[in-house]
Structure 1
């Protein structure tokens, strides 16, 4: 029972069946195929020679052949005792091209589509790819895009497939509305979500382009905002996005039910762990009775209790917040919160997997983890590990997820990092109040060939200062908890305005350091610096004239740091203390001991403002220099003004020569700054943040050995406002400070401006 084909393909047999004579297929004849083997076509048939002519199986075979996508047309007919399969093959694609695309590259479109060179063309597949291209454009906010697939016939049943694309205009959000909001205005709620209404100044942002994923995130942001603001019954009933008839813009509406606002009632901590009294944990509460309910405070309390209990030796702990809502005798809606502490499941970290690091070595990432394979699962340690990785500034994003391990009590910690550029070649220009017009050149790499080594060479040429610095730092020398680095530098400073001289320094610094734990570290350094005081003004202070010429500084120093900030890049909560000491006199011309204590406290104002961008920053410093022999150089002194005391020129406040008015610096200094940082009432996409501040500082201690000095240890005080603009071209800082308390010969500076750009 042969299978006859025009290509004489081999016969394929199926198990024989008992049939009546004359109703049996003798042969299957395949016709019309050029590229596809007859045996391949026959393999899709549900009938074989020797089978009965079954109309149902013939129909199913026809559908199966169509379903392969290989054929434009298929016909199956009986001729005598033979079954004839007539096919018309779909063409083979020679090339896929995209025309008219501007917003998406060819590579973007090729990734989005399925049809490639040497694929079989079908109208259905082309339509699916057309829709995929439209979806890709929609993700970029282009909903008016049109895509037309066209085929160009080629010899031997081949075609070129061309997608003719018209990008159209970006589809913006013309209006964002809220329905059901009673306690908060639409203006307030628009600042909560990430989507924005279209405006001309948002050309640097895509937040006003419609993105379904972002709108979905906006719903979560609204829920979190209301939960944080005391509305645990809040419901987001629906989110509607209507496309205008001309497909030019979207109208987005959030429909909600706020519910009543709740106060915090009774707070309890109940421990079911042996030898652990819940009352000893009340210091971990992040809320108080009578406060407005705050969902974030509940989460923070859970984290604080968990960390505290684990620190007491209970590795496996689970803290469950239990909410009981009711109306009190005064008619207020109240939430009683009970934090129930039970023994959690015994789960260990079986393995830590890292992905996405195409450049950074695994060991550079693993050494930042606060949890190791085999350790008990600790959510707080994982959170701190992620923050440490983000603080490296090697990655745009770091995601950490847990997956089931090889046993019920084991998990796999999967870490996915998204690499970002860590090297920069900069050529820039700008202006600063201290140095005047400037040009900066720099070549730096924070993560040299993925090893975590920071190296760079920078140069600044300005009207009143210049600097060249070659530096390299390995934070984990020899893969140990040991920092090693060094600098070669040359700087010049023009101090003619405040002290009547210019100065240059050329030297080398080597440093090493060690981290005692997650929060405490120490660095030790040695510097050898050749200094020159020159171009002294005629009639300058005798104190300055005596320092003309070269001097050598040989200095060893150390810095001890205790850091409890939530982030070293953008701190919002926590504090930092830093103690620095320097000893000069190991050779050289200067002999002194200098000590300085710095500190900063960051207090989140979320509770009062409802916005995590509000922060109270308190900082202060105090320093003392003791000269124990040899010459005392004014250039070693502390100076007050500029960066450490706004409202006054750099080095412009403090002791002065009575005869010349030149600033002389001092042996003892203290400064204190109180600053509130807040978002400005405009779109956050512009990148503007504001601040109000009060600076206090004093400088004293110069001995009258060569002439009379005017100086008072009384504090100087300045208050002001300022803002920072984080643009793609650089950071602009502007401060306006009013020197409220000043003294004779102090040089003030009401307006302080700094700008740098890269191109």
Structure 2
């Protein structure tokens, strides 16, 4: 059909499926035209009054002409016809294009790309269809575009590369259907995992390869390579590892440290990488002289100097300086000094390897925060994000405070990604802080089994939500049953009660024991609301009320002693108390990467209602440090408790009974006062009003490859439980053993395993000093914790 340039024409219909694009027709036409004419001196020009468009089904002729760019009656050269052809071919709308001039008519023949009927994936097992569908840009009922399909294939291959499968190949295939439709199928060859076979370091003297490998996110392939996926090679993770290594050395005073290169060599079989970090450590620097100066008349430099806690001689770390800057800026705000900025100026002393730090207080630009915009939080409420800022709208703008707020937002764990940026506001003196977040799941439901050397085998069901209803609240429910115990727990925490830096907690617990260590059972329930808040940079105070009931059940006259039976006869008892706990934790500041101290002291005062009056005191102190270039970790801890009743009588459910996690080498209640009568086969653990335990241990590598996650340790524990009231002692005619202080000593070895189930600890212990009727336990399995 001929289409006039000045008129309209209906669509032409033709079914052509051809992959190549040809311009043979236009070449032949030009040859014939030039043969029929005398040899021209100038280039031949054509003028077409009509255009005939053939083969188009969906695309309007006017659209095709607009791409061709040919005007009615205008002179058109051969080069311009070629340009028109290129524009049509590059439009992405046609598989083939032909332009044939015939006299005063130009014939344009096209074959349109087919419509995608459906998109399918074949050969994929590691990534499901739903995830792949979110990667590709091609869509059903849209026009097929080969370049888009090739880009999609590369995107799928990149997704496999992120899983360490760099040999993955993706090929787009077309299956023809009727009515110019095709099925687009991505044929996927996933290939095997390309593992990190070895991670090495060149140029490191201060720290061993083993220690540096523990810093990196990438791990070597090991025995558990089928479970642990951090041994796969991922290029983006290598960049993250470079930063981790840089931060590791910087926090230990190596200010000149740099990574000169990272070599990742692929094995010939393309199934493993050998990664080598080339480093230059430089020298380790300590903090030298610390000074404060300012040219601002209103600044009392002595007051700011006294506020500094960083000490000369301490290993230099950028985090030390950052914390001091934050401390000085907070002091400036407290003194009403706005727009004061702290500029640290570092001076090197290469002779004695120290860095002098001069904190200069200057006047910063008068810029205010116009507003804080939060986007992307579909679940989390704005106020949860906003309360991470110490800065509010209208406050002076402080870049450091904004960076710290960004870190707090990321540390919440609610978001997969969180970007915080500042831009100019409505005036140059104002800034707008943009917060863009991406939500991620924060809840979990767990079903599982458990084994404890204390409680035996059991089953558990748990629910946990770290961002309940998007309010930043923590809610957890748990049911745990075992052969000798069962527990039901409910915990709720509001971290910002009434918008303040005060955490409100509510705990409900109910526990029952079918005690295999004694001839009686117990039931206890606790209702405990609490408030906790910071009182210093490293100190925190917790206030609580506790309502507790306890019951002793199922004691047998023939198997249980007189004391337990007398305490059971008291029936169910209710206690009501107010208490506090003060904790001092240097790990919160993170000033020393190799050491930390935790101190806790708490008391509960009973008698606020209830059946008894008492004072219960607990003390805990833990210290940890690393020696020998951080290859060996040393820990020391001390725990103690005292229980004093002023009215009512203590019972076995109130007194201290130690578990194997407190004093290793003994069963639960295995040491301390006992009611004993060999003739009646009575041997009841009574617990004590006092206890004290000291634990010392060392953890170190045992020569196994790092990727196994297995280290060893040795420990020495010493402790005792003692003390019973006269009322308790007067309830029996049997012997009461070990009522006085008698220290038990235990030696043992530990195996630490960072397993796929979590960090596990296996203790093999042997008491070297104990009492005759103590119940020892030579093996225990527990979850490993630092402190």
Q: TM-score range by the shorter chain?
A: 0.7 to 0.9
Gaps of 5+ in 2: 13-43
Tell which deviates more after alignment, 692-701 or 377-386.
Answer: 377-386
Which of residues 248, 256, 264 is equivalent to 2:286? 264
- TM-score (ref. length: structure 1): 0.83
CA deviation string 1:403-449 (max 9, x = no partner): 2151444241526354334232423132x222233333445555544
CA deviation string 1:134-187 (max 9, x = no partner): 222111111112222221222232222212111111112234344444555544
What secondary structure does 1:551 align onto? coil
In the aligned structure 2, how far is the partner of 1:226 from the partner of 1:526? 47
1:345-384 matches, within 5 Å, as: 345-355=365-375, 357-367=377-387, 370-377=390-397
- 1:705 has 2:708 as partner: no
CA distance 1:730–1:574, change in 2 (3 Å):
closer
Which of residues 426, 434, 439 is equivalent to 2:447? 426
In the aligned structure 2, how far is the partner of 1:477 from the partner of 1:188? 42
In the aligned structure 1, how far is the partner of 2:6 from the partner of 2:270? 57
In the aligned structure 2, how far is the partner of 1:748 from the partner of 1:695? 13
In the aligned structure 1, how far is the partner of 2:492 from the partner of 2:119? 49
Q: Give the drift of 1:638.
A: 2.4
Answer yes or no: is the 8 Å Cα contact 1:269–1:279 preserved in 2. Answer: no
CA deviation string 1:6-46 (max 9, x = no partner): 5279xxxxxxxxxxx99654333323222211011112233
- 1:651 has 2:674 as partner: no
CA deviation string 1:511-568 (max 9, x = no partner): 3546476864544334252513323363643322322345132222233234454778
Alignment match, 1:503:
521
- 1:533 has 2:553 as partner: yes
CA deviation string 1:439-467 (max 9, x = no partner): 33445555544455555553333333233
CA distance 1:370–1:566, change in 2 (3 Å):
farther
Q: Give the drift of 1:100.
A: 0.7
- TM-score (ref. length: structure 2): 0.80
In the aligned structure 1, how far is the partner of 2:11 from the partner of 2:526? 86
1:700-739 matches, within 5 Å, as: 700-702=722-724, 703=726, 704-706=729-731, 707=733, 709=736, 710-729=738-757, 732-739=760-767
Alignment match, 1:12:
none
- 1:636 has 2:657 as partner: no
Tell which deviates more after alignment, 369-378 or 577-586.
Answer: 369-378
Q: Give the drift of 1:356.
A: 5.2
Which of residues 435, 453, 460 is equivalent to 1:414? 435
Tell which deviates more after alignment, 108-117 or 446-455.
Answer: 446-455
1:474-553 matches, within 5 Å, as: 483=504, 485=506, 487=508, 489-494=510-515, 497=517, 500-505=518-523, 507=525, 509=527, 511-513=529-531, 515=533, 520-527=540-547, 529=549, 531-536=551-556, 538=558, 540-549=560-569, 551-553=571-573
What secondary structure does 1:39 align onto? helix
What secondary structure does 1:173 align onto? strand
Q: Give the drift of 1:292.
A: 5.7
Alignment match, 1:281:
305
CA distance 1:454–1:232, change in 2 (3 Å):
closer
Answer yes or no: is the 8 Å Cα contact 2:196–2:219 preserved in 1. Answer: yes
CA deviation string 1:566-586 (max 9, x = no partner): 778999746453423141583
1:30-49 matches, within 5 Å, as: 30-49=53-72
- Superposed CA RMSD in Å reads 4.1
Q: How many residues align?
A: 730
- 1:440 has 2:460 as partner: yes
Alignment match, 1:123:
146
Q: Give the drift of 1:66.
A: 1.9
CA distance 1:400–1:594, change in 2 (3 Å):
farther
In the aligned structure 2, how far is the partner of 1:146 from the partner of 1:217? 26
Alignment match, 1:104:
127
What secondary structure does 1:647 align onto? coil
CA deviation string 1:380-419 (max 9, x = no partner): 7667767776776x63756452321514442415263543
Alignment match, 1:17:
none
Q: Give the drift of 1:475.
A: 6.1
In the aligned structure 2, how far is the partner of 1:268 from the partner of 1:477? 39
What secondary structure does 1:63 align onto? helix
Answer yes or no: is the 8 Å Cα contact 1:423–1:447 preserved in 2. Answer: no
1:283-302 matches, within 5 Å, as: 284=308, 286=310, 288-289=312-313, 294-302=317-325
CA distance 1:233–1:488, change in 2 (3 Å):
closer
Which of residues 397, 401, 421 is equivalent to 1:402? 421
Which of residues 159, 162, 184 is equivalent to 2:185? 162
Tell which deviates more after alignment, 372-381 or 28-37.
Answer: 372-381
CA distance 1:231–1:281, change in 2 (3 Å):
same
Alignment match, 2:781:
753
